[in-house]
């Protein structure tokens, strides 16, 4: 699912925007860590998350956005969301597996 959203978005919007949106996955990891795993964030972490969300909003350039571009932006965010879910599952929920199948830490 990660690859589908990532590459589909890359065909329709600028590749630099696709990469920027995909690498927003730490935001999703932080959000789901607090929401699902009940990990408390420090105030400075919350401030930095808000600043990075603001940076993403600026990078998306909503004034010049077309409806078709919005779908690709959502696909890039979906790819980031899926990657964050994989990282959280692998880090906290998955049983140990062989080294050849595991994600790098």
Per-domain boundaries in the chain:
2-77
Q: What is the CA angle 25-30-34, rounded to 5?
A: 145
Is the Cβ–Cβ distance between 83 and 25 less than 8 Å?
yes
**Structure confidence at residue 45 (pLDDT):** 85
For residues 56 and 21, is the Cβ–Cβ distance under 8 A? yes
Q: What is the pTM of this model?
A: 0.66
Write the pLDDT tens digit of every residue in 80-95.
Answer: 888 888 888 777 765 6
Give tens-digit pLDDT for 49-70: 889 888 887 877 666 666 557 7
């Amino acid at each position: 699912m990660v690859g589908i959203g990532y590459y589909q978005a890359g065909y329709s919007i600028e590749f630099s925007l696709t990469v920027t949106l995909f690498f927003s996955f730490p935001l999703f990891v932080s959000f789901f860590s607090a929401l699902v795993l009940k990990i408390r964030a420090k105030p400075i972490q919350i401030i930095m998350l808000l600043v990075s969300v603001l940076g993403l909003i600026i990078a998306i350039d909503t004034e010049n956005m077309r409806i078709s571009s919005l779908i690709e932006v959502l696909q890039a965010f979906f790819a980031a969301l899926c990657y964050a879910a994989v990282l959280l599952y692998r880090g906290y929920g998955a049983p140990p597996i062989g080294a050849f199948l595991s994600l790098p830490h």
